[in-house]
C-alpha cells in the first residue's frame, strides 16, 4: 500500500471513529473500526477512489460482505464521503460531514 492509499484509509477510519465518539460510542467499538479498514483491504478496497467509483449495486454487494459492519456503508454515507475525498474537495466534505 502506498502513502496515498494509507492516508485515504486513515481518513476513512478517523472520520468513522470521530462520528462514533460524537455519538457516545465506547472504546471497544472504536477498536472495531480499525478492523473495518482491514476488512475493506481484504475485500480489495484500498483507496477512497475505489469507494467513490462504486455504483449502487457494487456498493450493496460490498456492504453485504462486511460482516459485523454490514449496513454501515449506507448509514455512514461512505460513498458520499469517498467522492468528496477522492475529488480533493475537503471544503465540501467538511460542509457535509464536519472537520476532518
pLDDT higher than threshold 80 for residue 16:
no
pLDDT digits (tens, 9 = 90+) for 24-76: 444 454 455 567 888 888 898 888 888 889 999 999 999 999 988 899 899 99
pTM score > 0.85 for this model? no
- 97: exposed, middle or buried (Cβ count in 10 Å: 0-12, 13-18, 19+): middle
d(CA 96, CA 62): 24
Say if CB 70 and CB 63 are below 8 A apart: yes
**Mean pLDDT of the region 6-30:** 52
pLDDT digits (tens, 9 = 90+) for 72-88: 899 999 899 889 888 98
Three cell numbers, residue 58: 457494487
Amino acid at each position: 500500500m502506498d502513502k496515498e492509499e494509507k492516508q485515504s484509509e486513515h481518513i476513512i477510519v478517523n472520520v468513522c471513529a470521530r462520528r462514533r465518539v460524537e455519538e457516545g460510542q465506547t472504546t471497544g467499538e472504536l477498536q472495531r473500526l480499525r478492523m473495518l479498514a482491514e476488512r475493506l483491504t481484504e475485500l480489495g478496497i484500498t483507496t477512497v477512489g475505489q469507494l467513490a467509483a462504486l455504483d449502487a449495486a457494487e456498493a450493496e454487494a460490498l456492504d453485504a460482505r462486511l460482516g459485523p459492519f454490514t449496513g454501515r456503508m449506507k448509514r455512514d454515507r461512505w460513498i458520499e464521503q469517498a467522492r468528496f475525498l477522492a475529488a480533493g474537495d475537503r471544503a465540501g466534505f467538511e460542509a457535509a460531514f464536519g472537520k476532518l
